[in-house]
């Protein structure tokens, strides 16, 4: 099945480069291009892509606002957003994840990593981010923005002990293979537990599952290191 991609970036040359790269793959196809966040929202609603490759800094409606609009639209529940930007600051990453983004990559990634990222996010299997993701999650996702509330602990009561265990390890930034090695099970078993937890918690992907794990208190941040 072909993964349908919408490109949202205000730089036409960059969009053209991404289109050539993505369209060179038999399993990927660029279906539309947007030059700003407003256009990205409109085209996403019109085309229902599998993935929106979204820049953050765009004129008018930025990528964070566009991501929030896309991810909060019930009609776009099958569309996932992968943030791709030169602005790899902790706060941008945290805001992108809170807005519902499924992943985050810097524009300095290699071609293979970008294509792999698109495929992985389309499958809903991984939280993509810069190298500092684990520290980022610990630092930001445990603190809700004003007006937001932590997920109540009872929300996790529907999970089995094993599902909570797998969810906690995923929230630490561990891959399915790393979790499988730690728990002495197969990666397929880990993936099954992850997907069951996502279904029970109504999480659209692994990224949301990680957010829920921290905000519910299933995983808590380590105390800051002494300066």
Residue 125 and residue 130: Cα distance in Å, rounded? 16
225 assigned to some structural domain: no
Among 139, 163, 198, give the residue marking a domain's end: 139
Tell me, yes or no, whether 108 and 149 share the same domain.
no
Higher pLDDT, 154 or 23: 23
CA distances from 120 to 31, 82, 167, 170, 225 (A): 19, 10, 18, 15, 33
188 assigned to some structural domain: yes
Tell me, yes or no, whether 43 and 121 share the same domain.
yes
pLDDT in tens, 131-155: 435 545 555 555 555 555 555 567 8
Residue 31 and residue 40: Cα distance in Å, rounded? 12
Residue 105 and residue 111: Cα distance in Å, rounded? 12
Tell me, yes or no, whether 60 and 30 share the same domain.
yes
Tell me, yes or no, whether 149 and 127 share the same domain.
no
pLDDT in tens, 85-97: 776 565 677 778 7
Tell me, yes or no, whether 125 and 151 share the same domain.
no
88 assigned to some structural domain: yes
Tell me, yes or no, whether 187 and 150 share the same domain.
yes
Higher pLDDT, 129 or 46: 46
Tell me, yes or no, whether 7 and 110 share the same domain.
yes
Q: What is the pLDDT of residue 125?
A: 64
CA distances from 31 to 53, 133, 210, 212 (A): 12, 30, 30, 32
Domain housing 17: 3-139
The structural domain count of the chain equals 2
> Domain containing 32 — which CATH number?
3.40.50.2300
Sequence-ordered list of residues with C-beta below 8 angstroms from that of 138, at least 6 positions apart, any chain: 214, 221, 222
């Amino acid at each position: 099945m072909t993964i349908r991609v919408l490109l949202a970036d205000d730089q036409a040359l960059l969009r053209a480069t991404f289109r050539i790269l993505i369209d060179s793959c038999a399993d990927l196809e660029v279906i539309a291009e947007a030059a700003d966040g407003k256009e990205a929202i409109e085209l996403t609603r019109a085309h229902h892509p599998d993935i929106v490759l979204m820049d953050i800094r765009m004129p008018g409606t930025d990528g964070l606002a566009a991501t929030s609009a896309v991810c909060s639209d019930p009609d776009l529940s099958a569309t996932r957003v992968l943030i791709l930007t030169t602005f790899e600051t902790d706060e941008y990453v945290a805001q992108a994840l809170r807005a519902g983004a499924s992943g985050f990559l810097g524009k300095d990634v290699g071609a293979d990593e970008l294509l792999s990222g698109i495929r992985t996010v389309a499958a809903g299997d991984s939280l993509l981010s810069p190298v500092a993701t684990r520290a980022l999650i610990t630092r930001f996702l445990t603190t809700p923005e004003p007006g937001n509330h932590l997920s109540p602990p009872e929300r996790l009561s529907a999970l089995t002990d094993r599902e909570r265990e797998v969810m906690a390890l995923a929230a630490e930034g561990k891959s399915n293979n790393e979790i499988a090695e730690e728990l002495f099970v197969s990666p397929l078993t880990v993936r099954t537990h992850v997907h069951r937890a996502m279904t029970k918690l109504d999480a659209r992907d692994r990224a949301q599952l990680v957010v829920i794990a921290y905000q519910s208190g299933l995983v808590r941040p380590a105390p800051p290191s002494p300066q």
